[in-house]
Homo-oligomer: A and B are copies of this chain.
């Protein structure tokens, strides 16, 4: 299994598939490009998921969420992560490692998605605050992947 395959496999296991991300890309970018096709959105998400930095960030994020569910961090830190405390900001920082690479369109879309939490992002946020699951890092990473896909589309269109 390549690192990209492992990444997609881990995302799937945590409830995130490529379609759920491509759907949001389509919704956000359709207004800027009426000719946009859904398969273009699948394509850019696939491309983003090939980048070394993205793969590393996804894997670390999911691993942290999983180890938090197993209470493997020091108690105080484990609690901060588990409750997705609004003053705990390291999940957004990890997402930045993805967003930074894709420029300022990725950056503003990320902030928007993190606040509005449409579809899969909202679902992760909600289930992550329930008893046994933790998606504190993953929901930001998924927002970052989608935001980067949007930026990639916008740049491709102009070229």
Chain A contact patch, size range: 35 or more
Where chain A touches its partner, the secondary structure class is helix
Whether A93 contacts B89 by the Cβ 8 Å rule is: no
A100 at the interface (CB under 8 A from B): yes
Whether A104 contacts B93 by the Cβ 8 Å rule is: yes
Question: Which residues of B lie under 8 Å from residue A3 when comparing CB positions?
Answer: 76
A60 at the interface (CB under 8 A from B): yes
Copies of this protein in the assembly total: 4
A53 at the interface (CB under 8 A from B): yes
A36 at the interface (CB under 8 A from B): no
Whether A93 contacts B92 by the Cβ 8 Å rule is: no
Which of these, B60, B108, B155, B158, contacts A111 with CB under 8 Å? Answer: B108
Q: What 6 A-B pairs come out closest when comparing CB atoms?
A: A111-B111, A89-B104, A92-B104, A100-B100, A112-B115, A93-B97
In the complex, 29 of the A-B residue pairs with CB atoms within 8 angstroms, ordered by the A residue number, are A6-B74, A6-B76, A52-B155, A53-B89, A56-B89, A64-B64, A67-B67, A87-B155, A87-B158, A89-B103, A89-B105, A89-B107, A91-B104, A92-B107, A92-B108, A93-B94, A93-B104, A94-B94, A96-B107, A101-B101, A108-B111, A108-B115, A109-B111, A109-B115, A111-B111, A111-B112, A112-B112, A112-B115, A112-B116
